[in-house]
Amino acid sequence: MLNIVLFGPPGAGKGTQANFLKDTFNLVHISTGDVFRKNIKNQTPLGILAQSYMDKGALVPDQVTIDMLSDEVSKNSIARGFVFDGFPRNIVQAGALDTLLSKHNAQVDAMIALEVEDEILVKRLLKRGETSGRSDDSSEDIVRNRIKIYYSETAILKSYYEAKGRYHGVNGVGAIETITERLNAVVNTL
């Protein structure tokens, strides 16, 4: 089983690149954002709670996120592996993911981080907000707050995975195809 955590700040291109990794390496793509949106659209209790945090540009509490993602992994228990997009976001979630995967005799094989400058992220997210209708991309203040939260609460995971020898940084700026080639090169070394 091959398990990849695709990492980076909001707007780094995780969703786009996760789809390419999924297709290239025959993995199941589990996007925290997609899981949240599905729960929100279906007005599940977890979805309603998640929406209240997302509207403020804040991260959804760990246990809500962990519960949603555990369900998705369980639904795909015979998969060749997973590409996790937007999860884990902190040490508690990373530990929960380790525990979850260990139940399937697996582990996180690599955390691949898409590295992008903040101003590029802000432009990407505001542009996406113009067409997506996503409330968390609709305001520069909310977008900047999401990036700030990423650095203060989430970026610590770099050290967590570096300590395990599983961290790989990849330049997330350039043509989509070029970024995909950079990611594939890392995965091919695993």
Of 124, 144, 146, 158, the catalytic one is 146
Of 41, 127, 134, 148, the catalytic one is 134
Closest alpha carbon to 180 in 16, 69, 10, 44: 16
Task: Reply yes or no on whether 182 is catalytic.
Answer: no
3: left (phi over 0), alpha (psi -120 to 50) or beta: beta
At 37, phi and psi to the nearest 5? -60, -40
Task: Reply yes or no on whether 146 is catalytic.
Answer: yes
Of 89, 123, 148, 166, the catalytic one is 89
Of 41, 128, 148, 164, the catalytic one is 128
Task: Reply yes or no on whether 134 is catalytic.
Answer: yes
How far apart (Å, rounded) are the C-alpha atoms in residues 188 and 59?
A: 32
How far apart (Å, rounded) are the C-alpha atoms in residues 154 and 111?
A: 13
E-strand stretches of the chain: 2-7, 28-31, 81-85, 110-115, 167-171
Task: Reply yes or no on whether 37 is catalytic.
Answer: no
How far apart (Å, rounded) are the C-alpha atoms in residues 174 and 122?
A: 16
* Residues belonging to the active site: 14, 89, 128, 134, 146
